[in-house]
Structure 1
Amino acid sequence: MNLKKILPLLLLFSYSFYAQESMNDKKEQIKSMKVAFFTTELDLSSQESEKFWPLYNAYDNKQFEIRHKKMKAFKSRLNNDALDKISEKDASNFLNQMEAADEELFWLRKKFTKSLRTVLPDVKVLKFKKCEDDFYRKLLQQYGDRGRKDKR
């Protein structure tokens, strides 16, 4: 499986490890970190920022909504007891729903990239893609380090 596909899913599941903070608080913290990281790494002009952030925020909110609502429903139905008792028909329906969510995320990403290319040069769009991957990697590492410290 591709690292780009795994990272967002790991990020989603990392939320559950820190339940003491509300989901909205976590989302806002991550959003602040992301804004700072992207701003530094992308070196957007004021005109580019003006156009980039509304596009990105709409994309990010929709992506979060799809992942949170749909993946949370999948996760709640995927406990070991349920999997041991699931019928072939239900498993097939479940996989179809998961694939539909993945496809919805794919088309959202494709539409966002197309929009992004109208407001940023292609070089910066590529930098954004790398920057986004780097951010999620850094975030996962940070939460992993935090989890290890908490266990000591």
Structure 2
Amino acid sequence: MKRILFAILLVGLSHTLLAQNDKARQKIESAKIALISERLGLSPADAQQFWPIYNEYSKKRRDNHLEFAKARKNFNPETATEQETQNMLKLGREVKEKQLNLEREYSDRMLKVLDSKQLMSLQNAERDFKKMLLNRLDQRRAQQQNSNEQLRRQNNERMRNKRNN
């Protein structure tokens, strides 16, 4: 019975975490859209043309990255053969080449909507957003470590108090 309750609790918790991840992703995406929109200063007509192109580009870029991430996840350099290692290096080059081709193709498409200064602003906005996101993640990790350290100290103090009483 305890095992069944524990399994139900785990399933419920995993669904909650997945929902939170979706909400977090949506918040991040909304913040990115806001920053890019602010930096580019698009007219409503330009925004209507720009966002479908940019969203398509972002999806293809993400898919390209995930393809390599999956292969890398299954790759163990400690046990890989020489051929497997060479295949992984080749795949890495192919992914980078694909990324460069995507940038070329979509830069050309975006230049039909944006001027060159706006395209540069887009690239800077993406880079700045990534930096901001990484900084926030670092801050959260540091806060989490501080919280964990405080909890450890409190638990140690409780244990000492129990032993002394």
Larger Rg: 2
- Alignment match of 2:108 (pick from 111, 114, 120): 114
Q: Percent of pairs identical after alignment?
A: 22
The alpha-carbon deviation at position 54 of structure 1 amounts to: 0.5
Partner of 2:130: 136
The alpha-carbon deviation at position 140 of structure 1 amounts to: 0.9
The alpha-carbon deviation at position 62 of structure 1 amounts to: 1.1
Q: Deviations over 1:61-81 (max 9, x none)?
A: 11111112322321x134xxx
2:28 paired with 1:34? no
2:52 paired with 1:54? yes
Give me the TM-score of the superposition, normalised by structure 1. Answer: 0.77
Opposite residue 104 of structure 1, the aligned amino acid is K
2: distance between equivalents of 1:63 and 1:95?
19
Partner of 1:104: 98
The alpha-carbon deviation at position 48 of structure 1 amounts to: 1.4
2: distance between equivalents of 1:26 and 1:71?
21
SS at match of 2:78: helix
Distance 1:68 1:30, change over 3 A: farther
1: distance between equivalents of 2:139 and 2:114?
35
Distance 1:103 1:24, change over 3 A: farther
SS at match of 1:84: coil
2: distance between equivalents of 1:29 and 1:64?
17
Instruction: Give the alignment's Cα RMSD to 1 decimal.
Output: 1.7
Opposite residue 95 of structure 1, the aligned amino acid is L
| Structure 1 portions without partners, runs of 5+ | 1-19
Q: Deviations over 1:67-102 (max 9, x none)?
A: 12322321x134xxx312221111111111111111
2: distance between equivalents of 1:150 and 1:90?
38
Partner of 1:123: 117
SS at match of 1:107: helix
SS at match of 2:88: helix
